[in-house]
Structure 1
Amino acid sequence: MSTTPNHSEGFSWRESLPYVLWRADNAVNRHLLGAIKDLGVNVTQLGLAVHLDELGPLSASDLSRGIHVTPQSVATALSRLDKIGWVEHQPHPVHGRVVLFTITDRGREGVREGTARMAKVTDRLTGTLSSGGADHLIVELRRILLDLEGSDRPMEALWPIRDA
């Protein structure tokens, strides 16, 4: 039984889903940061590099829309990735005011190493859950994301590059 005082009948702050998700997010984020800090990136920066590696050139606004992070946060993260040589930027070939970011060879190496470390963290987390628990948890968390964000569309370029 929880010793947390209930501020409204039947509600326990420390037993609530938002609180437990927040605590789990903080713990996982600290663990992830520890696993990748020597790569010189944080989790957001690594995630953006992974998307650029998988999807090809994208603008900051494409990335922002795709992962539901503010444009300012994406711009800051891309600036760091540019500074450490993981990405390059150039004007869009058709829409010159749009800046496209592309992963570099150094960025691909970082993505490979970061992804391998993420896989180890995933294995550790999966190992703490019951059989099938990770798959079930992912399904349920995606339901929450869909309800709160209203979309589960794959990331795509608003200004696609057309082959001639």
Structure 2
Amino acid sequence: MIRDDEEPVGLGALDRVTWALRRAELAVQTLKEQRLRPLGMAAAHYTLLMSVHSEPGLAGAELARRLNVTPQAVASLVARLEGRGQLERREHPRHRHVQELHLTDAGREALRAADQVIADVERHITEGLGPDQSAQLRTLLDQVSKTVRSV
């Protein structure tokens, strides 16, 4: 028999805010993956296309830092999207060894279609919560981000 003081985690460990965030993240991520799959896209592709759209000319290394993934992971995604004709690399005007990332017309079309799917996921969530709770959740999540960044 295991004594309480020998347990690797305390009672209520699964009731922590961090676990609630993780459960919500997994549920949303799973839904996004399911809904994007018919477009031949994964959520990671959408995230990368959206990032390049919002900041054209990002370099792969900077993109990796912002997405909190390895440069190798970004390089693999970029190669896949470049192969589909959705992204292109351009030489940086001042730093010839740096490649800037830009959406192509096909990339903008893919992003447009994917964003409609993501907007539907968002609508599903916000309709389930209602306007007041949706606004409150956004505020609380922004506060969590701010609090964690200040550590």
TM-score of the superposition, structure 2-length normalised?
0.84
1:43 is matched with which residue? 43
Post-superposition Cα deviations, 1:33-63, rounded to whole Å, max 9, x if no partner, equal: 1111122221121111112223222111221
SS in 2 for 1:97: coil
Deviation at 1:76, TM superposition (A): 2.1
| Percent of aligned pairs with the same amino acid | 26
Match of 2:145, SS state, is: helix
2:105 is matched by which residue type in structure 1?
D
- Distance in 1 of aligned mates of 2:67 and 2:146: 12
Task: Pick which of 102-111 and 65-74 moved more.
Answer: 65-74
Question: How many Å apart are 1:20 and its aligned residue?
Answer: 1.6
Q: Secondary structure at the match of 1:132?
A: helix
Higher mean displacement: 28-37 or 76-85? 76-85
Quick one: distance in 1 between partners of 2:22 and 2:70?
19
Structure 2: segments with no counterpart, 5+ residues: 1-6
Q: CA 1:80 to 1:97, structure 2 compared with 1: closer, same or farther past 3 Å?
A: same
Aligned partner of 2:131 in structure 1 is: 131
Distance 2:88 2:149 in 1: 30
**Residues of 1 paired with 2:55 and 2:109: CA distance?**
16
* 1:94 and 2:76 aligned: no
- Larger helix proportion, structure 1 or 2? 2
Gapped runs of 5+ residues in structure 1? Answer: 152-164
